[in-house]
């Protein structure tokens, strides 16, 4: 049996609007006790999530980059943000990171600290070793230097960069340098990893290697979002948010709920997708290259 919103008890209605995981869970339990269900009630949050609710943004009044974007990002998936130049891909990443306040809507982050960003250009310190660039992420977590070096070597091996561990950053190819930046992002144990155009300046062979590295992140229990123009990168992802596609306003967009227009094109089965017809993601950026 479905309940009309007006018939809810005050506690249930507050839980739908309030968005807190505990309140939402209690609301589900109350409905279950009465043998009832409600499609307007937010799902019980499981694990880290980033929830976008009716997002829109403009830098110039009257020129909206994107509008009415609603979705939930979860761990163990790989999300592509696609669209033509100027459609707001990097802007959306900044909003998800909490660096930029959207013109419209809001973002709810649950359990995703810290946030890390891998920039389009793989900036590093030319004379420092590849190992140093990755070990610093572990040192920042409190590892001793010897422990950080061991963990960094293991991570570089995972990314097929073990042979380059002792090479200076300046000696790396473009593809190798981009994978080192991904490894460094992972070494800092992020809850949310944002990757901006990782293959934009690479040849096809190097880009394919970076794409394989991105796919390897799916089992890392972090939320990974990639802004990209690259069709091969898009195809490597499990879900796509295409800013070139039109969107429509979400009903009652001030509260989390089922009933969002579907923002995802699901490309794989390895990640949990949002429902198919109506669907529900202080950061410290990596240091610049000198």
> Is the pLDDT at 280 greater than 50, yes or no?
no
The answer to whether 82 touches 243, Cβ cutoff 8 Å, is yes
| Of the candidate ranges 8-12, 186-190, 261-265, the one whose mean pLDDT is the lowest | 8-12
HSE (CB half, 13 Å, CA atoms) of 80?
A: 27
Neighbour-count burial for 123-151, b at 16+ CB within 10 Å, e otherwise? ebbeeebbbbbbbbbbbeeebeeeebbeb
The pLDDT value recorded for residue 167 is 97
> Is the pLDDT at 12 greater than 70, yes or no?
no
> Is the pLDDT at 11 greater than 90, yes or no?
no
99-126 pLDDT tens trace: 999 999 999 999 898 999 999 889 999 9
Please, which pLDDT band fits residue 28 given cuts at 50, 70 and 90? low
Distances (CA, A) of 211 to 208, 215, 218: 5, 6, 12
Q: What is the mean pLDDT of residues 202-212?
A: 94
Q: Does residue 52 or residue 63 have the better pLDDT?
A: 52
**Start-end of CATH 3.40.50.300 domains in the chain:** 47-290
Strand order in the sheet with 239-242: 115-118, 192-196, 223-227, 77-82, 239-242, 264-266
Distances (CA, A) of 172 to 94, 121, 149, 244: 28, 13, 19, 35
Residues 6+ apart with CB under 8 A from 11: 26, 27, 30
> Is the pLDDT at 7 greater than 90, yes or no?
no
Nearest Cα to Cα of residue 183 among 208, 147, 220, 146: 220
The pLDDT value recorded for residue 248 is 62
Give CATH for domain 47-290: 3.40.50.300
| Of the candidate ranges 132-141, 183-192, 246-255, 263-272, the one whose mean pLDDT is the lowest | 263-272
């Amino acid at each position: 049996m479905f309940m009309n919103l007006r018939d809810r008890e005050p506690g249930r209605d507050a839980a739908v609007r309030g968005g807190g995981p505990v309140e939402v869970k209690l609301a589900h339990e109350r409905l279950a006790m009465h043998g009832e269900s409600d499609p307007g009630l937010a799902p019980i949050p499981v694990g880290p999530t980033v929830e976008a609710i009716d997002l829109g943004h403009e830098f110039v009044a009257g020129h909206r980059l994107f509008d009415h974007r609603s979705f939930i990002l979860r761990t163990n998936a790989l999300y592509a943000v696609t669209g033509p130049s100027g459609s707001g891909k990097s802007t959306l990443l900044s909003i998800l990171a909490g660096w930029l306040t959207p013109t419209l809507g809001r973002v709810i982050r649950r359990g995703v600290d810290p946030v890390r960003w891998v920039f389009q250009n793989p900036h590093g310190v030319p004379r420092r070793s590849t190992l140093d660039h990755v070990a610093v992420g572990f040192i920042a977590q409190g590892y001793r230097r010897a422990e950080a070096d061991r963990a960094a070597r293991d991570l570089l091996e995972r990314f097929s960069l073990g042979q380059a561990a002792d090479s200076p950053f300046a000696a790396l190819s473009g593809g190798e340098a981009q994978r080192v930046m991904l490894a460094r992002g992972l070494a800092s144990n992020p809850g949310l990893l944002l990757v901006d155009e990782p293959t934009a300046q690479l040849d096809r062979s190097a880009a394919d290697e970076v794409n394989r590295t991105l796919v390897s992140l799916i089992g890392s229990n972090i939320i990974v979002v990639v802004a990209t123009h690259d069709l091969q990168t898009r195809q490597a992802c499990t879900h796509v948010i295409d800013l070139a596609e039109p969107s429509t306003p979400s009903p009652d967009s001030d509260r989390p709920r089922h009933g969002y227009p579907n923002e995802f094109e699901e490309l794989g089965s390895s990640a949990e997708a949002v429902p198919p017809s109506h669907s529900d993601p202080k950061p410290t950026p990596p240091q610049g290259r000198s």
